[in-house]
Amino acid sequence: MSGLILPVITIAFSVIFLLISLSMPAPTRGVGPAAWPRTVLFSMLFLAIILLVTEYRAYLKAKAESAQLKKEAPPKQPYSFRHWISAGVAGLYFLIMGVLGFVPSTALFIAALSRILGLKNWKLSVLVSLTSTAAITILFLSVLGMNVPRGVGIFRDFTLFLTR
């Protein structure tokens, strides 16, 4: 039942701020300043409704299963340290980005994180890492117009070569 709290709060938040966004001035041409907030809020509302339905179904299923398995003790599952390892890799990513630059450190970070989170195939891990790094780099440099850390020494030259 506690899994229903977040979707309900998100639905309330989305509805309240959607109503507030309706008071924004209408655009004279184009989409106007209210388009982005409304898009995000409608997306939040839609996804929160999906989450609410999913959580409610899971709650009903768990309730039915617990009634059947009341007599049996549930098997103990081993503790996973993946979240701690992921946090350590994220910290290392933050530390090496100034030296290696954004592009190589992001590629290494995504490859390492995909392996930690269970992707078994090395080729697929490298492919996901390189395509994600390329997409993120294009997003930051071209779409958002933001500079990314370039690194030091040969890594700086490498990043400058890739981002021209």
Specify the residue for token string 């999906």.
50
Q: Is 10 domain-assigned?
A: yes
Q: Is 158 domain-assigned?
A: yes
Residues 6+ apart with CB under 8 A from 52: 4, 7, 8, 11
pLDDT tops 60 at residue 74: no
| Interval 22-68: pLDDT, tens | 888 877 777 777 788 888 999 999 999 999 999 999 988 888 887 77
Domain count, the chain: 2
Residues 155 and 105: beta-carbon distance below 8 Å: no
pLDDT tops 90 at residue 155: no
Give residue 77's pLDDT: 64
| Mean pLDDT rounded to a whole number for the chain | 86
* Residue 103: domain span: 89-162
pTM above 0.85?
A: no
Looking at the fold, whether 63 and 106 belong to one and the same domain comes out as no
| Interval 83-117: pLDDT, tens | 889 999 999 999 999 899 989 999 999 999 999 88
Looking at the fold, whether 64 and 102 belong to one and the same domain comes out as no
Rounded to whole angstroms, how far apart are CA atoms 119 and 115? 5
